[in-house]
Structure 1
Amino acid sequence: MKKLTLLVGLSALTLVAASCGTSDDSSGGGTKSDAGFTAPNLPKLDKLGAGEGKLSVLAWPGYAEDGSNDPKVDWVSSFEKKTGCQVTVKTFGTSDEAVSLMKTGQYDVVSASGDASLRLIAGGQVEPVNTDLVPNYKDVYPFLKDRPWNSVKGQMYGIPHGYGANLLMWRTDKVTTPPTSWSAVFEADSPYKGKVTAYDSPIYIADAAMYLMAKKPDLGIKNPYALDDTQLQAVVDLLKQQKTLVSEYWSDYLKEVQAFTSGNSVIGTTWQVIANVATGEKVPVQVAVPSEGVTGWSDTWMLSATSKNKNCGYLWMDHIISPEANAAVAEYFGESPSNGKACDLTADKKHCATFHAGDAAYSEKIWYWTTPIEQCLDGRTDVKCTDYGKWTQAWTQIKG
């Protein structure tokens, strides 16, 4: 539970962006990505020099531990000793906060989830990375490289860190027939009315959209992050219906663990780490990937375009995905590491199996959190899709 206390700030472990592309345009005007925004033409470091002696890290709680929270949890000190780069760490609780802080130019590197990475790339706050300068990059799982949330047309804008899925969890003593569908938390006739928990964020709209992709194919939803006005309204109607079932919306670990411990909630969306903690607290829970699939996250370390400490930044990105550090972070935080060699170094030898590390087939089941934008991410050009602003307004209506 101590780990959860440190991670309460992780209330909106966010989204995953959309777009892939290089900034290799001779016109100097930037390159339009597949997601519809223009990636600025920014240079990337061509060779690594000596560390500048300091590094300012902006991170999710639990990603850059220096022993101050727990003396046994420290992968910053070894980096400082090895490189001479003295680290200061600022943590954030949401991607919106991370983007705002990066705009100040005060931070050298950031652990960005997908909605942040999309905005940071488009806004020119982060620059392309030269993966040749990150030796441990070669050991990153291939299915995490050159993905819509961390690259633009084949040019990486960051180094993959870790990933996980949003699963369906239930109390096995209250839900005796294991559910195989998200219908148990969305449909009005659910036998668990008043005992359902749901994630408290506009991005949860994507979970309902994913369900409707299978439930109502006539709506034409092909990507849960690409919703036109009609499709969004259908999803909103479903979520308003779900509200009658919900006992509690959660946005941090502790609240969901407590809800399942008390029995106030018996079924709902969760993260694997929450299920692990609940099990450790002797709460009888089980998780599954329902037939409709799951949403999830994948985080990326990114380098500020205005950083004065880019050599230290590159040294940090290589360090944090080294087998030793990546194993420590993944196990402490509760996610899959990005470096396959990390699996040999976790204290819990079952950790990587629990989190499906390196399982490309499992990863492909995940609709990674993506920022909804007007340019439809499913390829449609005859309509405009709803952006995150509209999703935020819709979420306010849903919750009332």
Structure 2
Amino acid sequence: MAGIKTPSNLLILFTRFSFFPIHPTQFMEEKMKRSILIVIVLIMALSLTLAACGGKSAPATKAPAPAATKAAEPAAKEGGVLRMLTWEGYAPEELVKKFTDETGVKVEISYIGDNNELIAKMAATKGSGFDLVSPTLNYVSNSQKEYGIYQPIDLSKVDQKLFTPAHLKSILDNSQFEGKPYALPFVWGTTAMIINTEKAPGAGKSYLDLCDPKYKDRVSYRAKYDTLYMFAYALGLDPAEAVKDEDQYREVMNKVKDKLIECKPIVRTYWDSRQQMEELMTTEEVWVATSWDAAAWSLGLKDPKFKYVVPKEGAVGWFDTFAISAGAENIDAAYKWINFMMQPENAAVIVNNTGYQTASEGSAAMASPEMAKLVAESLPPEKLASINWYFPLPSYATDIQADVEEALKAAQ
């Protein structure tokens, strides 16, 4: 790994190896559709009830108070309000203030906990109420097909040179519906393993280490699709290829289910949130776990015994995007924010605050030396090249996965 631990060389690493020649447009599972529809109905019912009472609903946004703008020429100030629906950490207060100072645009932010919530909020009003949102790539095309909640990207408003070319091309290609792109790349990350190197030295060579009896009661992972993929790869199976045929995918997932049930006595608990995983690791209840890269790096900055490790099977990867709401009222401000956030010095704030990487050309070079070192150690070129990006899922595949997850939780 010599020669890739400095910020400047890290830029070369990311621009050269951060690509994914796949088509990760994940179809919505039927169970997810039902939950979204229920939430939509509840949202609409609440709105009607409040209207009948002559009142207004409480604001859903968690908007930081905009800082007073600096004096500037009126022509330089666009004004108005930009309404965003995004993830915690994707719109830091310091960048919101800077953006408002530069443009005169105030920013109101609503936060989401998962993509189901994002889609439900957007679908309830056909996107009205928000200008800019950050769906995970897997959900963009199919949610547009199902609910018509986005509008095509207008590339004439995008400063394309700010983006890593490979990321820009891939997201434009893989967010298409009826021949038009509906998303731009923003933040990406991976999921692999976190190891307490003092308690479990040498662990993390394979995902099957999560089944090693010597770590009994010291293991944790999510009972979710990413873990299913990890174990499929560890068993020498190819879920991305098998998913093209329903019977083959069921066969692969049944093998994964059998292995996970076999390993269940080793597992202390299944974690559901980043906070829960971090608590399990820091209290040393758990020594070996699956983890999102940023969570592991965050713990590693606090205590170097915690390492983010990508085993021989490769990490699994995801990409969050920018999408313009179909009901956007301040479209120009949305594109101004996108171009603003892709400026390397601004994107670097996201990198340093969250640990996630961005599609901004040059932002990796501006990462803090400590973060740059952790990223370079965990994701050298060969590990970046081996990332298993989320693959397209037909509805039968999501049903199969849901059945495996339920069977795993129910197993004694």
In the superposition, the TM-score normalised over structure 1's length comes to: 0.74
Deviations 1:160-203 (A, max 9, x none): 11212112221112223344111111x4x532122111024344
- C-alpha change, 1:35 and 1:276, in structure 2 (3 Å) is closer
TM-superposed CA distance for 1:267, in Å, is 0.6
Q: Deviations over 1:339-373 (max 9, x none)?
A: 13223433x13434533599775433212234522
SS at match of 1:64: coil
Which residue of 1 is the match for residue 369 of structure 2?
349
Per-residue CA distance 1:204-224 (angstroms, 9 max, x = gap): 322222223x2xx5xx64447
In the other structure, the counterpart of 2:190 is: 165
Could you tell me which residue of structure 1 aligns to residue 397 of structure 2? Answer: 387
The whole-number CA distance in structure 2 between the counterparts of 1:65 and 1:251 is 25
SS at match of 2:83: strand
Q: Which amino acid aligns with 1:243?
A: K
Between Structure 1 and Structure 2, the one with more helix by share is 2
Could you say which residue in structure 1 is the equivalent of 2:267?
A: 246
Q: Percent identity?
A: 21
C-alpha displacement of 1:118: 3.7
Write out aligned runs for 1:131-210 (5 A): 131-135=155-159, 137-147=160-170, 150-152=174-176, 155-185=180-210, 187=211, 189-210=212-233
Give the residue type in structure 2 aligned to 1:232: M
Alpha-carbon RMSD across the aligned residues, in angstroms, is 3.1
Distance 1:120 1:170, change over 3 A: same
Instruction: Tell me which residue corresponds to 2:84.
Output: 57
Aligned residue runs from structure 1 range 75-86, under 5 A: 75-86=95-106
Per-residue CA deviations over 1:198-256 (Å, capped at 9, x if unaligned) read 024344322222223x2xx5xx6444765622222122222222322211222322222
Mapping 1:244-283, distance limit 5 Å: 244-282=265-303
Mapped pair 1:122 → 2:145: yes
Show the counterpart of 2:48: none
User: Could you tell me whether the CA contact under 8 Å between 1:225 and 1:372 is conserved in 2?
Assistant: yes
**Alignment of structure 1 residues 353-364 onto 2, 5 Å:** 353-356=373-376, 362-364=383-385
Contact 1:240 1:398 (C-alpha < 8 Å) held by counterparts = yes
Contact 1:161 1:300 in 2 (8 A): yes
In structure 2, the partner of 1:101 is: 121
- Displacement after TM superposition at 1:51 (Å): 4.9
| Distance change >3 Å, CA 197–CA 333, structure 1 → 2 | same
Instruction: Supply the distance in 1 between the matched residues of 2:202 and 2:380 (Cα, whole angstroms).
Output: 27
Aligned residues: 333
Bigger Cα Rg: 2
Distance 2:239 2:392 in 1: 16
More divergent stretch after superposition (112-121 vs 317-326) = 112-121
Q: Is the 8 A contact 2:194 2:307 kept in 1?
A: yes
The residue type equivalent to 2:89 in the other structure is: G
Give the whole-Å Cα distance in 2 for the aligned partners of 1:224 and 1:367. 14
- Determine the C-alpha separation between the residues in 1 that align with 2:107 and 2:218: 44
Q: Distance in 1 between matches of 2:232 and 2:131?
A: 36
Secondary structure of the structure 1 residue equivalent to 2:232: helix
Aligned-pair CA distance for 1:107: 1.3
1:398 equivalent in alignment to 2:408: yes
- Structure 1 match to 2:11: none
Q: 1:359 to 1:100 in 2, by over 3 A?
A: farther
Do the aligned partners of 1:58 and 1:92 also contact (CA within 8 Å) in 2? yes
SS of the equivalent of 1:177 reads coil
Contact 2:100 2:107 in 1 (8 A): yes
